[in-house]
Amino acid sequence: MLNFDYSKYGRRMVVAGGLFAALWAAAGCGPADNPDSTQPADKTRVTVVCTTTMIADLARQIAGDNAEVLGIMRPGEDPHIYEVRPRDAQTINRADLVLANGLHLEATLGEVIEHHKGKARVVYLAQDERITPLESQATKGAPDPHCWFNVQYFRVYAQRTTDALAQTDPAHAEAYRTRGRAYMDQLDALDTWVREQLATVPRDRRVMVTSHDAFHYFGKAYDIDVYAIIGISTEQQPRPRDVETLTALVKDRNVRALFIETSVSKTLNDLVRRIADQSGAKIGGTLYSDSLGDAGSPAPTYLDMLRHNTTTIVDALR
Ligand SMILES: [Zn+2]
C-alpha cells in the first residue's frame, strides 16, 4: 500500500490565506444565487454540506428527511478546477457535518473546508484505511482521488457517511443505520452487476480510452485497461507526445471505441475525437466521470451513473 502524505499536494496552500479573507468577507453580503444556502437555517435538523454531486446524492440517500443536505457543486461541474464562490463559505458555515472526497480532488474548495474544521465535523470519505489509493499515472507520488469508481470503495464512503450522520445526530442514528444498510445492499448488487457486464466483453477488447484519468479504480476493480489523454487532474494541459502515444496505442491494440466525458473541457473531448478519427476507432459514447448529470439526464444518481457508464462501455467494446 502506498503511504501518501495527503498534505503534500495542496499546491494552492499559499494563496489560501488571502482567499479566505475575501471569501468570509463576501459571505455576509452580495446576492447568493444558490437557493439552498439563502434559506433560513433549519434548526430542527442537522445540516450536511457535501462537495461533489456524487457525495451529495449519497448523503441524501442515507439522510432521508432527517437531515438537511446541501450540495456545493452543481451537475456537470468539474471538481478539479472548481472555483470557490462567495456563497460556498456561507453554505459551509451552516454545516454541522461536511462530507468531502479528499485526496485533493476538491482543490481550492478543500482549503475552505480545512479552515472550517474546528466548527463542524469534517469527513474526507476517500481517506480511509480500507481504501488503497492508486498512484496517479501522470503525477508520480500524488494519490488518484477518483475512488468512487470502485463500487466497493464507494461502499466505504456510504459506511462512513452513515457513521458520521449517526454521530452528528444521535437522535436519528437508527434511521441513518437502516437507510445506510439498504443503500449498501444496493451497492453490493451494483458491484456484482458491473462485474458481470464487463465479463461479457472478451478480455482483449477490454481497453478504454478517455479524456482524463478518472477510471483507474474502475479498471482495476473490473479488469479493464484504462488510458487517458491527461493525468488525474483536468487542470493539466495535454501534451502532443501523449496524444501521439495514445493514437499509436489505439491502432496497436485495435481499440474499438474511445469515450468523451461530461465534466471536462471541449478541448479535451475534441482531442479524443481527433484520436478516434486518426486511428479509425469510433466514439463509444459519453461517460459521467467527476460529476452526476441533472435530473433529466441518464445519471442523476450515483447508481444511475455507474449503470449508464457500464452499459455505454460494454455496448461499445463488446
Ligand atoms: Zn477527475
Over residues 207-227, the mean pLDDT reads 95
Place of cell 485526496: 103
Please answer whether residues 95 and 115 qualify as being in contact, where contact means their C-beta atoms are separated by less than 8 angstroms.
no
Distance CA 130, CA 80 (A): 24
pLDDT of residue 240: 84
- The more confidently predicted of residues 257 and 21 is 257
- Would you say residue 151 lies in a domain? yes
Q: How many residues does the chain have?
A: 318
Place of cell 478517455: 210
Interior angle at CA 54, CA 212 and CA 74, nearest 5 = 85
Structural domains counted in the chain: 2
Give the strand order in the sheet containing 207-212: 225-230, 207-212, 257-261, 282-287
Q: Decide which of 141, 159, 189 is a domain's last residue.
A: 189
Please answer whether residues 268 and 212 qualify as being in contact, where contact means their C-beta atoms are separated by less than 8 angstroms.
yes
pLDDT of residue 99: 98
Distance CA 273, CA 269 (A): 6
Give the strand order in the sheet containing 97-100: 67-71, 46-50, 97-100, 121-124
Domain range for 128 is: 13-189
Over residues 85-92, the mean pLDDT reads 94
Distance CA 156, CA 257 (A): 31
- Would you say residue 8 lies in a domain? no
Distance CA 138, CA 229 (A): 10
| Range scoring the smallest mean pLDDT among 35-44, 120-129, 283-292 | 35-44
Q: Is-above-0.75 flag for pTM? A: yes
Q: What residues pair up with 122 in beta bridges, in sequence order? A: 98
- Would you say residue 2 lies in a domain? no
Distance CA 52, CA 303 (A): 15
Query: What's the gap in Å between 312 CA and the centre of ligand 1?
Result: 19
Note whether 33 and 143 are same-domain residues. Answer: yes
| Range scoring the smallest mean pLDDT among 6-20, 79-93, 179-193, 194-208 | 6-20
Note whether 147 and 218 are same-domain residues. Answer: no
Distance CA 183, CA 180 (A): 5
What are the φ/ψ torsions at residue 124 (nearest 5 degrees)? Answer: -95, 105
| Range scoring the smallest mean pLDDT among 32-41, 140-149, 197-206 | 32-41
What are the φ/ψ torsions at residue 122 (nearest 5 degrees)? Answer: -120, 125
Q: Decide which of 189, 213, 247 is a domain's last residue.
A: 189
- Would you say residue 277 lies in a domain? yes
- Would you say residue 305 lies in a domain? yes
- Would you say residue 243 lies in a domain? yes
- Would you say residue 3 lies in a domain? no
Query: What's the gap in Å between 160 CA and the centre of ligand 1?
Result: 22
Query: What's the gap in Å between 46 CA and the centre of ligand 1?
Result: 30
Note whether 201 and 181 are same-domain residues. Answer: no
β-bridge pairing 97-100 and 225-230 = unpaired
Note whether 219 and 274 are same-domain residues. Answer: yes
3-state class (DSSP) for residue 121 = strand
Note whether 86 and 169 are same-domain residues. Answer: yes
Query: What's the gap in Å between 137 CA and the centre of ligand 1?
Result: 13
pLDDT of residue 41: 59
pLDDT of residue 138: 62
Query: What's the gap in Å between 234 CA and the centre of ligand 1?
Result: 6
Query: What's the gap in Å between 175 CA and the centre of ligand 1?
Result: 33
Query: What's the gap in Å between 308 CA and the centre of ligand 1?
Result: 18
Note whether 172 and 269 are same-domain residues. Answer: no
Name the band, by pLDDT with cuts 50, 70 and 90, for residue 27. very low
Please answer whether residues 195 and 241 qualify as being in contact, where contact means their C-beta atoms are separated by less than 8 angstroms.
no
Query: What's the gap in Å between 28 CA and the centre of ligand 1?
Result: 32
Q: Find, among 91, 61, 62, the residue nearest to 172 by Cα.
A: 62
**Cα 25 from chain centroid (whole Å):** 29
**Cβ burial 209-233 (10 Å sphere, 16+ → b, else e):** bbbbbbbbbbbebbebebbbbbbbb
Note whether 46 and 168 are same-domain residues. Answer: yes
Note whether 178 and 240 are same-domain residues. Answer: no
Query: What's the gap in Å between 39 CA and the centre of ligand 1?
Result: 31
- Compute CA distances 298 → 53, 271, 305, whole Å: 14, 24, 7
Query: What's the gap in Å between 79 CA and the centre of ligand 1?
Result: 7
- Whether the pLDDT of residue 11 is over 60: the answer is no
Q: Decide which of 189, 209, 244 is a domain's last residue.
A: 189
Q: Domain containing 58 — which CATH number?
A: 3.40.50.1980
Note whether 244 and 303 are same-domain residues. Answer: yes
Q: Find, among 289, 311, 312, the residue nearest to 302 by Cα.
A: 289
- Would you say residue 6 lies in a domain? no
Distance CA 126, CA 146 (A): 9
Query: What's the gap in Å between 145 CA and the centre of ligand 1?
Result: 7
Per-state percent for the chain, helix, strand, coil, to nearest 5: 50, 15, 40
- Whether the pLDDT of residue 315 is over 70: the answer is yes
C-beta atoms surrounding 202 within 10 Å: 9
